[in-house]
Amino acid sequence: MKKSSYWIIVLALSFLLVLVSTEYVNAQRYVEDDLESLEESTFEYVSKLNSEKFSALEGSPELGIALTTDVEPAGNRLDYHIDNEFRNFDFQNRTNPNNILVIFTLAKGDLTIAHSEEIQSFVAPLNEDIEMKKRIWRLIQEEKYDEAVIDISNYIYTNVEQAVNEKGWAKIYEDSALARQEEQRLREKKRNTYIFIAVSIGVFSIAVSFFYRQFISNKAKRHFYSHKILPKKLERDESFCQKEFDHWLKNRQKIYLFYKTEYEATRAMKHYFIHEFLPVKLAQFKAIKEEHKHLLMRSLNNQAISAYFIEHYFSEDKFSFISFTEILVEANDVSKAYCENLLSKLSTEISDFSLEEELLEDKWPMIPEYKQELYKITKEKIFCNHTNAEYLERYLLDGLSYEQMLDDLSNDIGAVIMDSLKTALFTVDLNEVYKLELLYKEIIENDFSDEDLAEVMQALKVGYRGNKTTILKLKSVAKTAIIERQDIIKDRNRGEKTILRVDFREREVKTLFRPKSK
């Protein structure tokens, strides 16, 4: 009997303990207290408010309270904060759109009433109630947390009860949907306004840029015509198109410094006449052979002949292209014959040319190679002089006869040889360097662009003397030039400015992952 009574007492106490725990959990269900500052009675108050009053309203809304130092993500949407996983907080029906959660964020000094989108039209004005927030927050600052929780709970209930009785949830949902639509419309209007402003600014900038370029172009055009250098004969010519010429001036204005000076304007006019107008004009003359037309255009690349031609063309009212081309053909035949005479004497002149004084003694065994290279380069230069109409110029402009030109043949050959000498000696010595370091040849010929190659060659030739520079010295200079150019290319590719370095002796030419510009 005693044993039975004992078990009855144990069971009763256990039931009582479970009951109390359940009530405590229920009290805890609607409140999250990170600060551990609320009395148990406050938990019970919020719980009873939900179970006795909120539950009796249409839609069974629930109220939650959270006191926290901080909360992320910020915002008023209820689902954001429900998903934030408060330790002791939950709704009985967390999917109910009528639920409301009040969040005290102490670190930010903020009071937020979180809600679902469906009841936005009802809760939004509550979040804008400045007087209420000041009153509640004053209690928080005074550390009267219980009073603040009870006050806001009663405030929410009063407003929910009034809204449900006056409108009902259906009307609240409808108003919220309309409010969201209006917000979306305003956002789209704002976005469209921004797009309109951006497009307007873009169009305005393009227009300003266009009119500015037009202004500069017209200003440059006025500069050109202010010098009054355009020949009347050119303006009257049927082949001349004023509109095309003005367009050409516009496209070339930067090259000729906007025609601010008469010198630049004259340069521009001559260039247009020779390279744009004249080919069109020549095409009209069927009596002139095509090869003679090409000869004329090639000869006009010679500055002296070009000036002579322009002067006579614009000074003579009845300038004859046919007569001028016949004169050019005769002068070109003389130039060709003179070029052949130079070449016929070149081999003998180079064979008799002494190189001992031009070379270090240890290079004398390579004199045949130097002379062979000298012959090659000198021959190319003689052909180049003929192509550039230098010999034609002497006959046509200097008034020298063919016999008079032949009298000066030896001096001409000597001048060309001396002009080619340094290049020939340098080329042979550089090939000797390549024999010692084949990698240098591969890098110089394959890795560098035309601009970088020209810089490297310039660095190699500076200070070079055939009778003073040894092969090993040139090899050292080549190493320095290659390392420096590789550094420049590497820094250029990385968008950095190269800092001049002088410690090349301690460094080697890059062989792996070589910086290239070609």
Give the pLDDT confidence of 186-238 residue by residue, as tens digits.
Answer: 888 888 888 888 888 888 788 777 766 666 668 888 999 999 999 999 989 88
Rounded Cα distance between 120 and 113, Å, is 11
Rounded Cα distance between 163 and 182, Å, is 21
- Higher pLDDT residue, 46 or 202? 46
Instruction: For residues 78-100, give the mean pLDDT.
Output: 71
Instruction: For residues 337-353, give the mean pLDDT.
Output: 94
Domains of the chain with bracketed CATH: 31-167 (3.10.310.50), 319-436 (no CATH), 437-517 (no CATH)
Instruction: For residues 370-397, give the mean pLDDT.
Output: 94
pLDDT higher than 60, residue 87: no
Q: What is the pLDDT of residues 418-452, one digit of tens each?
A: 999 999 999 999 999 999 999 999 999 998 999 99
Rounded Cα distance between 34 and 498, Å, is 60
What pLDDT was estimated at residue 32?
Answer: 83
**Mean pLDDT for the chain?**
85
Instruction: For residues 362-366, give the mean pLDDT.
Output: 95
CA atoms within 13 A on the CB side of 306: 16
In 462-505, which ranges are continuous DSSP H helix? 471-493
| Residue 498, both tokens | 């190269």
pLDDT higher than 70, residue 5: no
What pLDDT was estimated at residue 1?
Answer: 45
pLDDT higher than 90, residue 377: yes
| Bond from prior residue into 365 cis (ω within 30 degrees of 0) | no
Q: What are the strands of the beta sheet with 100-105, ordered from one edge?
A: 31-33, 63-68, 100-105, 110-115
Rounded Cα distance between 136 and 224, Å, is 80
pLDDT higher than 60, residue 20: no
Burial class (CB in 10 A: 0-12, 13-18, 19+), 422: middle
Percent of the chain with pLDDT over 90: 49
Rounded Cα distance between 243 and 486, Å, is 49
Res. 392 pLDDT band, cuts 50 70 90:
very high
pLDDT higher than 60, residue 17: no
Residue among 148, 172, 146, 170 at smallest CA distance from 159: 172
CA atoms within 13 A on the CB side of 480: 17
What pLDDT was estimated at residue 407?
Answer: 92
Q: What is the dihedral of CA 431, 435, 440, 446, to 10 degrees?
A: 70
Strand partners, 111: 104
- Higher pLDDT residue, 491 or 217? 491
Residue ranges of E strands in 331-451:
none
For helices 145-166 and 130-141, give the axis angle rounded to 10 degrees.
160
